[in-house]
Structure formats: C-alpha cells, structure tokens
Structure 1
Amino acid sequence: MEVRGRWWNGSWGRLARRDIWLTSDGRLWRVRGRLGGDGGREIIHDFNDEGSARAMVDRMMKASAGTWRDLTEAMRQESNRRRSD
C-alpha cells in the first residue's frame, strides 16, 4: 500500500502522541491511527473510496488535541532520497 498521507499531532510521549497514516493500493483506502509512540495502540479503518477515508482522517484529528502537522511531503522526500542512495 502506498502512503497517501501522514500526520502527527506534534506531541511527544506515550500518553500524548498521535499519528495517522492514509494508504491506498488503488482500490482499498486504509486509515491507520496510533495512540502513543512506537508500540502504542493502533486502530485501522478500511474504506472503498478516498473521500470517506479522508473524512475519517479529519474526524480523528478533530477528536485529538495537539497542533496537527502534515508530514506527507517530508515522508515522500525521505523515501525518494533513500531510493536514490
């Protein structure tokens, strides 16, 4: 599945950190949310269309405190850099 979006709430630590990924294989859209850092609790929602998946991302961000940061482009650049090394 290709990453189509990546967000972080800007908080550090197991109790405060939240991460969201939006991925797709072209047919299935998946939203994965993680509460806490590495090893934290994860939830996954699958959707048949991008609009519904992005609406879930928006709901998840609104339900969680923090200053959400869109890391999508930074993740793409890092992935491209690793491929060219």
Structure 2
Amino acid sequence: MEQRKHWWNGKWGRIARRDVFLRVSGDQWYVESRNGGADGVSHFFEYGSEDAALDAVRVLLAGPDEWRELSVRPPLG
C-alpha cells in the first residue's frame, strides 16, 4: 500500500489532533481519518477510484480547522 497524501489539522495533543491519509493499493483507494494522533482512533474507508476517495477527503477536511498538507516521504529502497 502506498501513501499518497497526508493532511493534519494543525493542532497538537491527543484530544485536538486529526489526520487524514490517502492511500492506494492496486485499483483500490483508501482514506483513513484518525483522531488523537499516532495512538488515536482511526476510521477506514475504501473506494474504487481516486476521484471518489478525494471527494471523501474533501468532506473530511471541511469545517473550521486550518488543514495543511504534509509531505509524504518516498519509499525506501
């Protein structure tokens, strides 16, 4: 599975932090919405196209938070 994008709401701490990830594996696209940082609770969504996954990401990023896209590290090797 390859991570394509990562967004963060710019807030620190387990209660306030939210992250959204866009990943792909073959023809399947995955969106992860995580609340609470690395040890937080995640919800996973699966989509058949990149467009559908990006539509879901736009819904998750809607609201008052100041979302920022974080750079994705290229795979090692």
TM-score (norm 1): 0.81
Partner of 2:7: 7
Tell me the equivalent position of 2:26.
Answer: 26
2:57 is aligned to 57
Question: SS at 2:58's partner residue?
Answer: helix
Please state how far the C-alpha of 1:42 moved relative to its aligned partner.
Answer: 0.5
Distance 1:6 1:39 in 2: 16
Distance of 2:56 and 2:27 partners within structure 1: 17
**Aligned residues: CA RMSD:** 1.5
**Which residue of structure 1 aligns with residue 66 of structure 2?**
67
In structure 1, stretches of 5+ residues that fail to align are none
Moved over 2 A (4+): none
User: C-alpha displacement at 1:67, in angstroms?
Assistant: 0.8
Q: Which has the higher strand share?
A: 2
